[in-house]
């Protein structure tokens, strides 16, 4: 999905002009960029961060895996990014049945759940504190990724996630579990903030969309995997291992991510920003099939301008701008943040975590409710493929609008049916079946519309607009939360924008 419907091909990639302000006619335009557009030799590159050596991992040209064909490298990068996204999905879904485990509830001091408002609040608090950790992790990793590179920032996140996973799997009281959840959240937030930025910058602009389906299929696949592992683990009479094992299995993903990222190329854009031109050229040669000099020149052009506007590379400057350039960044921050918030407010998080409770409230038994929730996750996973087929045909913005309308109607009908499904009688099962049907349709609609549209589409500008500098363009709201920041923010604040 490198271009939207009816967009014409153009020999110039969007990276050539990304982040550079529009030039004006007249004598002043030649002085817009110091030394002229073609003077790239005297750039004031930043010095390596003095604390960088204290962080583990990082890019090494000698250690980077090499393939005969760039296409193979590209597949490996996207497969690795898919594993990281799968881990995020797994971590989202892992608590869904842990919360229902009687041994877990007793050990945490939150049993019984039913009829006890204190215990219900405590259970929700254990789930919620994780997201506070992800906020902290994303903000910290966004800064670290700009200072010491994308790979080191991912390793940083993996170490926190590893500590959090070990502590969760070994928790013996609610305070322990809450601390473990926050620590794990810091790690997952860091990984989830940096991986989309890294994969977008390493990938070829024209081919990023090809692996969209795989990555988001794996994201929801991770959620479904966590659920079914817990379902079968619960069949074991040892209920303690039934909740500790799924939490411990997070370690497998974390080790793959934290160790494996060190064998992949660093972002060529970040390398160029740090003055490591030859390494950036080698990364492009490893991941591109065509001549890389044109793209390298485009990246240099962007770096030149953005180094000259590096005063905006702070969270405070992005939120409280003092100049025209920073004001543009604030508008992009508002777009990215509110679209993330809107994605969560449509209710998918509640369905994901509390699906079993929802089906039980609709009159189904515990075992059948668990099965329905599991099959709902599978349906959710396959709905992503449907989105990839239809997005280019109908457009991102239309898909989001009609997806929101459909989800609203499905939730409305489900709520009405659920009211009657909770009344015992001959029609209870029929109303419950209606609730289940609406729930399946809702999650499938979200997967086919908001999940993918709000995460992707490598170009937010039409191809004919890429001749105009992006910093002066108004982004079209047809590509939203997850990869949206990797495209609307300039290089010098891209990681912070992703955070």
Helix pair angle (324-345, 348-361), 10° resolution: 10
Q: How do residues 86-113 score in pLDDT, each as one tens digit?
A: 998 898 888 878 888 899 999 999 988 8
d(CA 64, CA 61): 5
Q: What is the pTM of this model?
A: 0.76
69-105 burial, b for 16+ CB within 10 Å, e for fewer?
A: ebeebbebbbebbbbbbbbbbbbbbbbbbbbbbeebb
- Please provide residue 4's backbone torsions phi and psi, each rounded to the nearest 5 degrees: -85, 175
Secondary structure of residue 368 in the 3-state scheme: helix
| Structure-block tokens of residue 403 | 């997806």
Mean confidence (pLDDT) of the chain: 78
Sign of CA dihedral 447, 448, 450, 455: positive
Secondary structure of residue 276 in the 3-state scheme: coil
d(CA 319, CA 321): 6
| Structure-block tokens of residue 462 | 């039409």
pLDDT at 107: 94
Q: Find the mean pLDDT for residues 52-63.
A: 90
pLDDT at 205: 58
Q: How do residues 365-414 score in pLDDT, each as one tens digit?
A: 888 998 999 999 899 888 887 776 666 677 667 777 888 899 999 999 99
**Helices and strands, number each (H, E), in the chain:** 21, 0
Q: What percent of the chain has pLDDT over 90?
A: 30
| Structure-block tokens of residue 129 | 């504190």
């Amino acid at each position: 999905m490198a271009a939207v419907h009816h967009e014409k091909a153009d020999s110039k990639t969007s990276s050539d002009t990304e982040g550079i302000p529009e030039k004006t006619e007249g004598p002043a335009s030649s002085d817009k960029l110091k030394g002229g557009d073609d003077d790239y030799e005297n750039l004031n590159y930043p010095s390596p961060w003095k604390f960088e050596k204290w962080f583990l991992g990082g890019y090494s040209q000698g250690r980077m895996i090499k393939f005969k064909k760039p296409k193979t490298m590209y597949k490996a990068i996207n497969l690795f990014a898919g594993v990281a996204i799968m881990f995020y999905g797994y971590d989202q879904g892992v608590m869904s049945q842990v919360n229902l485990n009687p041994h877990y509830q007793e050990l945490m001091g939150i049993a019984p759940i039913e009829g006890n408002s204190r215990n219900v609040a405590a259970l929700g608090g254990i789930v919620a504190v994780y997201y506070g950790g992800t906020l902290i992790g994303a903000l910290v990793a966004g800064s670290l990724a700009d200072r010491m590179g994308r790979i080191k920032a991912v390793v940083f996140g993996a170490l926190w996630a590893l500590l959090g996973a070990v502590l969760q799997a070994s928790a013996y009281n609610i305070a322990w579990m809450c601390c473990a959840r926050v620590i794990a959240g810091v790690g997952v937030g860091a990984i989830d903030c940096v991986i989309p930025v890294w994969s977008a910058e390493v990938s070829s602009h024209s081919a990023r969309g090809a692996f969209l389906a795989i990555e988001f299929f794996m994201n929801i696949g991770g959620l479904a995997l966590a659920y079914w592992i817990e379902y079968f683990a619960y069949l074991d009479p040892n209920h303690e291992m039934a909740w500790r094992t799924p939490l411990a299995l997070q370690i497998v993903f974390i080790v793959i991510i934290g160790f494996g990222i060190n064998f992949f190329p660093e972002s060529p854009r970040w390398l160029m920003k740090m003055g490591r031109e030859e390494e950036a050229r080698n990364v492009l040669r490893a991941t591109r099939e065509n001549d890389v000099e044109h793209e390298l020149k485009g990246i240099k052009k962007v770096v030149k301008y953005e180094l000259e506007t590096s005063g905006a590379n702070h969270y405070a400057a992005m939120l409280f701008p003092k100049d025209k350039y920073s004001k543009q960044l604030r508008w992009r921050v508002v777009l990215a943040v509110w679209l993330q918030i809107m994605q969560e407010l449509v209710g998918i998080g509640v369905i994901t975590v509390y699906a079993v409770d929802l089906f039980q409230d609709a009159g189904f038994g515990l075992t059948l409710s668990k099965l329905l929730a599991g099959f709902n996750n599978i349906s959710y996973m396959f709905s992503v493929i449907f989105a990839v087929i239809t997005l280019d045909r109908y457009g991102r913005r239309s898909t989001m609008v009609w997806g929101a309308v459909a989800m609203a109607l499905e939730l409305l009908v489900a709520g009405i049916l659920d009211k009657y499904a909770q009344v015992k009688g001959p029609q209870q099962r029929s109303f419950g079946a209606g609730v289940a049907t609406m729930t399946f349709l809702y999650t499938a609609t979200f997967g086919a519309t908001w999940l993918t549209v709000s995460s992707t589409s490598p170009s937010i500008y039409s191809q004919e607009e890429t001749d105009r500098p992006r910093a002066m363009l108004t982004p079209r709201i047809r590509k939203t939360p997850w990869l949206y920041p990797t495209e609307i923010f300039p290089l010098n604040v891209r990681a912070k924008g992703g955070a």
